[in-house]
Structure 1
């Protein structure tokens, strides 16, 4: 119907009168209803009171019968995760001070406050000393920002880095300055410096520029010595090359000052024989029509490794000497000083079968001995970084210099005390069917207490313990093991104070404790030894925020996957995340989203607080998320992890399939909607699992940045677990992703990779795609991220990769890939 103007005016008058009559009718009807309601309520309450009085109702279990008016809780979404809604605040403390005695330890630490860097004390709240009062500064007419600082041991000077540019995973280049706190003056150390380190004497600074090692004197403000002159793109002095940074030191330094500052040890790494790998970059500059090709020295399995030599520079004599620690394929995996003039180096053969401990005398050129040479048996030697020097002190019962190391005992990693340093028979400090994690954390030289993190309660938890050098095997608990907990810790210079970080499973908190206090906490919260001085962080805001969200329930357990070939139970750590409003009475309803990493000696099932992608999947896809640490993973002893030696991808894939079969049997699971996702080694494991399963259990897979052929990955990592291809040809053939026909039996899978990946080269995925083409397999989707490295972050790539994972899995569960 079409209305004219006058008709609309008449209609409005008629509607106005009708509205007035309707309002009067509604008022009278509502009044009557309210009268009846109030009368009924009075009768109800009287009856209820009589029933309660007579005992007909149990008031403890009685609830108001009307529905709750509590607001609907929010589900977890990508937006929450990406804007750090559920990210707990955690603080690191840069403990400072050269105190060796807990009696003089005031718990000094460096703190960033607004625009300044201040030394504070956990012991004295009033103590405050400003080292640097601004985060920007002018030098010779140019403005610089403070991006990293490191105070000298005497706190009189600061190393400042600016103009930082990222190199590889851990390394950077930058412009370094020296700031004199007393004079309030900056002096430039140099541009494009890779690494700079203070000497213990607070005077000298060692730094690396253009792969040569230099010494700078803060007393004369000059370069006092150019230690090496052969640095080049092929020769690295005091700085690791790519493979040593990524796989050996997991850091950016290869130089070590002696305790007195009289010597500096460093590695000379020669990559001349290492083959180059070219990586093309396609979208760096809009105007570039040809790709930029960057070449990286990358030793693939079985190809030449960099040769490495331990060097020692004597500052007094200004002499440099080399230590013959092995042959050109020997790996030097750890270096530390075990006295003012003794340096210890751990070395292995390239396949990590044999560990040797070399001790060199810095005062005698080239003089060294090898007191320890140990075979790994049927396993391998994992690289460690936390071996600690124990200085001689007769007054404390330490007659000679020594060190505390991590060694295997009956198949589990434990602490051992070697004193003197060249002894072959250590004192075992810990033992049992559990493991010390990464070695000692700190040593109190006043009390001889060695602090460490261990799995004594559970391999999924981490607790803090101590043991005394003179009372071996008597382990004391620092944290409360009656409660579930995953802790980390850092200690002040004299080990009197500790920053205890509770990382899960509940919302994290951090506290500073005094281990030497004669008082104790009245109520236990985390620590059972030491007095809590204050909380550095309680994450109260996060706790309150979580009340507004429906968080999918996460539970940890041990899964019994079945029996191995010897008839013994396979028991794996696992956790599951149930979707919101999970209903176990539903039949064939829930999809299952497995996530796996599974690399040798790794761990994903740890009781750490985390709300991230897995919770998004559970909330948004109404899926059960499952993570299983199968055989080969860490912290359950050598027998559990060493099974993968020379045969990667076999038992790891078996265990994922066994776990998936257990879930497929659950009545509330839709067995046709079981998928597996993994990144890096997890991407490899995803493809190997789909290959071994051939569509019987896992219907879908999502593989990101996978290794597909271990001949294509770096030598140091791969040969530790597989030996060389020349030694283990059949093992490499089995371990590569090779059965395209079996992969074709899965319903569908997704492959994603960054073309600029310097770690797991895009070559892996291209070789795999060629294999699929040759076999005529087409049941997959592919997404390439131009110029992204292994983390896939270039040009918004990280958002896209996770969006695609979620959307692709959602389509799989909706049955979009069945036709």
Structure 2
């Protein structure tokens, strides 16, 4: 879902998109940023064991906190979570893709040093090249700060951005400048530019301004061509509109240079027929006595979608060609160059039932549909963006161009190699009752090794593996699977080097590994293949700091939630956090705080190191915290997740109730103090669960920014799981939060929403409140955050929302709502 970071375990200061929404993939590193970023405001945290894990070398000797005998340890609180007491230091190497990096990979990356931007090499510690010697500059008498840096592929010029203004979730607008190699030729590219991309030839730049595309020549330092002339508030060229940015590309770009820079593919998105949604803003300026109304083109389910057309522009011939790809409602979900003049485009119908593949010959201006038209059967086609081009190379056994894609195979997502590119019969590289996550991560074109992240060991873990294009199904471990682990990996442009990040369940660490070395690795912590060049981060300070805190114990397990309608066991992943000094001999003592997200193909039960809101609840309220990934969530195969198709909110609510009943039966649990909290889809699931349960098991609920009626949410997300309302009216009626009298049986519930939410509109909560009014239901509390969007951060709102959640739950467990 196009929801904000509340899909992650709450108040963990988010992993900066380490786990992507919907699929919860790992580290979608934006190589274009080209800076070495320190993620110092991370909180991903987990229980710390008192023993040193086995198999870890002296280089990575862990100093786990040993609990002193009589020393008083501090409890986890909001104060130390918010001030990053438990935040591990994590770095993201932004690798530089040079003109020859696929052949001669030196592991170049851009770092910030002493107020400068410097190109360095992980291979050669003496290599250093200053690209920019200051983070501030002057132009035409005005002072600017450097907010974004992107070098040309040959490193001869640097693109700078300043005056950045956030647009939607991924997009920005800013002032762009160009600096040549001698740092004495600073030129203004333009103000109010939304997107700029270097051509592979290092001479041309394509950029988007006012929804039109321009070509800038660094040879003449002029706009050499205005590519489009029809850009407007209704027509987007080269950049996505709201729904394509949020739900399709998950980014701000809709243009793609060919490998040699001879062609530029882009989307032309016409949203003339899309209805506008007005959002009033009340607290932007104290002087305003009337609200500011901003209108956004937002296609709700069943209404008109934007019409996207794939265009190809021939730079030399200055000619356009439009690609034929279905009707006006067709979604273009991925575009990939699979040769110097060939494009592969993946499309689907608006309900994601059928995937189609189109091959485009840019030189001839012709396109044809590959007979790889595949049905989702009883599920849906999830949008992916990790298809990798594999160029032909006869010396290495690749006679034709091809690509590696992620496809469903025997009910699980696996890697498939298509060669030639118009093939319909792929070679399956992986197979089994486990799933590849957002693969492939990288392909080494010299060795033919494909690297990927997968759940091969455990659905709650992420390990790194490799497979060779010429040796399919022979999977090799890259990370150490003998230990529990959640890994990410970021490869250099030639796939010779990688940043391996261990993210849990213990304290994270990071190391840089070379995969083409024949030398055995003496520093084997985390990886069993490759040679460790150096450790980038060990988080020793955090390990030492944790000795002074009472960390609530976190345990992962599989829960049997009973039988499904076919008589099969429902096995769901879960974890529980026990409060400090937990005593199982107490009777009817502990409240249980359930946290749920539960959206299709999502995941919350992951072995990540984390100390956040859930640990605060456990420590401060002496509560057991439980998280259950029930049916519909991801990484357990199509059968487990596809049950929710056309019927959102049904089995997800059943599974939360089943889990709560098991906890209510435990002798140490106070069955009158079981609550459920969720944000976004989790907020929706909270209300659907309370509605279905009618106060029998869950006595309290906290819902933040919920969808309450799927007719009100965006078309691309909703129709993927529910089809159109015109096709599934009964399903929409059932999925809506509609039974006010059942909600009235709950002891009490809390509803919170931001009035400026451009994603899940405040309209959802307002219509829900109207339903409660009509039914005379009053057993709830409400808090509105003026002008806050879906993340609820405007004007100190993020502190308030979590304070209120904690305080409200404390009142519930103290019995203060029983007399209301």
1:273 maps to what in 2?
273
1:637 maps to what in 2?
637
TM-score (norm 1): 0.91
CA contact (8 A) 1:579 1:619 kept: yes
| SS, match of residue 547 in structure 1 | helix
Cα displacement string for residues 545-570 of structure 1 (whole angstroms, at most 9, x for unaligned residues) = 11111110111111111111111000
The alpha carbon displacement at 1:365 in A equals 2.2
1:245 maps to what in 2?
245
Stretch moving more, 676-685 or 530-539: 530-539
CA contact (8 A) 1:585 1:668 kept: yes
2:34 maps to what in 1?
none
1:78 maps to what in 2?
78
CA contact (8 A) 2:358 2:367 kept: no
- In the alignment, the residues of structure 1 paired with residue 370 and residue 534 of structure 2 have an alpha-carbon distance, to the nearest angstrom, of 47
Cα displacement string for residues 166-196 of structure 1 (whole angstroms, at most 9, x for unaligned residues) = 0001100000011112343311110010000
The alpha carbon displacement at 1:709 in A equals 0.1
The alpha carbon displacement at 1:100 in A equals 5.7
2:233 maps to what in 1?
233
Cα displacement string for residues 390-430 of structure 1 (whole angstroms, at most 9, x for unaligned residues) = 00111111101110000111000000000000011111100
1:133–1:727 CA distance, 2 compared to 1 (3 A): same
2:521 maps to what in 1?
521
- In the alignment, the residues of structure 1 paired with residue 443 and residue 413 of structure 2 have an alpha-carbon distance, to the nearest angstrom, of 18
The alpha carbon displacement at 1:102 in A equals 6.5
Cα displacement string for residues 207-248 of structure 1 (whole angstroms, at most 9, x for unaligned residues) = 100000111111111111111000000000000000000000
Residue 443 of structure 2 is aligned to residue 443 of structure 1: yes
Cα displacement string for residues 641-666 of structure 1 (whole angstroms, at most 9, x for unaligned residues) = 00000000000000000000010011
2:507 maps to what in 1?
507
1:806 maps to what in 2?
806
Query: What is the aligned length?
Result: 753
CA contact (8 A) 2:356 2:369 kept: no
- In the alignment, the residues of structure 2 paired with residue 106 and residue 423 of structure 1 have an alpha-carbon distance, to the nearest angstrom, of 34
CA contact (8 A) 1:384 1:439 kept: no
Q: What does residue range 301-316 of structure 1 map to in structure 2 within 5 Å? A: 301-316=301-316
CA contact (8 A) 1:100 1:493 kept: no
Q: What does residue range 64-463 of structure 1 map to in structure 2 within 5 Å? A: 70-98=70-98, 104-463=104-463
| SS, match of residue 92 in structure 2 | coil
1:756 maps to what in 2?
756
| SS, match of residue 91 in structure 1 | strand
| SS, match of residue 504 in structure 1 | coil
Q: Which fold has the larger relative contact order, with Cα–Cα distance below 8 Å and residues 6 or more apart in sequence?
A: 2
1:57 maps to what in 2?
none
Residue 465 of structure 2 is aligned to residue 476 of structure 1: no
1:491 maps to what in 2?
491
Cα displacement string for residues 738-776 of structure 1 (whole angstroms, at most 9, x for unaligned residues) = 000000000000000000000000000000000000110
| SS, match of residue 202 in structure 1 | coil
2:569 maps to what in 1?
569
CA contact (8 A) 2:649 2:735 kept: yes
The alpha carbon displacement at 1:103 in A equals 6.3
Cα displacement string for residues 443-493 of structure 1 (whole angstroms, at most 9, x for unaligned residues) = 000000011000000000000011000001111110000000000001111
| SS, match of residue 688 in structure 1 | helix
Cα displacement string for residues 315-359 of structure 1 (whole angstroms, at most 9, x for unaligned residues) = 010111111111111000000100000011100000000000001
- In the alignment, the residues of structure 2 paired with residue 388 and residue 394 of structure 1 have an alpha-carbon distance, to the nearest angstrom, of 18
Residue 650 of structure 2 is aligned to residue 654 of structure 1: no
The alpha carbon displacement at 1:113 in A equals 1.3
Cα displacement string for residues 770-796 of structure 1 (whole angstroms, at most 9, x for unaligned residues) = 000011000000000000000000000
1:387–1:68 CA distance, 2 compared to 1 (3 A): closer
CA contact (8 A) 2:132 2:183 kept: no
- In the alignment, the residues of structure 1 paired with residue 617 and residue 126 of structure 2 have an alpha-carbon distance, to the nearest angstrom, of 49
More helix by share: 1
- In the alignment, the residues of structure 1 paired with residue 810 and residue 738 of structure 2 have an alpha-carbon distance, to the nearest angstrom, of 28
Stretch moving more, 356-365 or 265-274: 356-365
The alpha carbon displacement at 1:99 in A equals 6.0
The alpha carbon displacement at 1:524 in A equals 2.6
Cα displacement string for residues 233-274 of structure 1 (whole angstroms, at most 9, x for unaligned residues) = 000000000000000001000000001110010000000000
1:706 maps to what in 2?
706
CA contact (8 A) 2:439 2:452 kept: yes
1:768–1:71 CA distance, 2 compared to 1 (3 A): same
2:13 maps to what in 1?
none
Cα displacement string for residues 556-612 of structure 1 (whole angstroms, at most 9, x for unaligned residues) = 111111111111000001011110111111110000000000000000000011110
- In the alignment, the residues of structure 2 paired with residue 456 and residue 184 of structure 1 have an alpha-carbon distance, to the nearest angstrom, of 53
- In the alignment, the residues of structure 1 paired with residue 357 and residue 119 of structure 2 have an alpha-carbon distance, to the nearest angstrom, of 39
The alpha carbon displacement at 1:120 in A equals 0.7
CA contact (8 A) 2:234 2:270 kept: yes
CA contact (8 A) 2:99 2:154 kept: no
1:794 maps to what in 2?
794
The alpha carbon displacement at 1:155 in A equals 0.7
1:817 maps to what in 2?
817
CA contact (8 A) 1:497 1:515 kept: yes
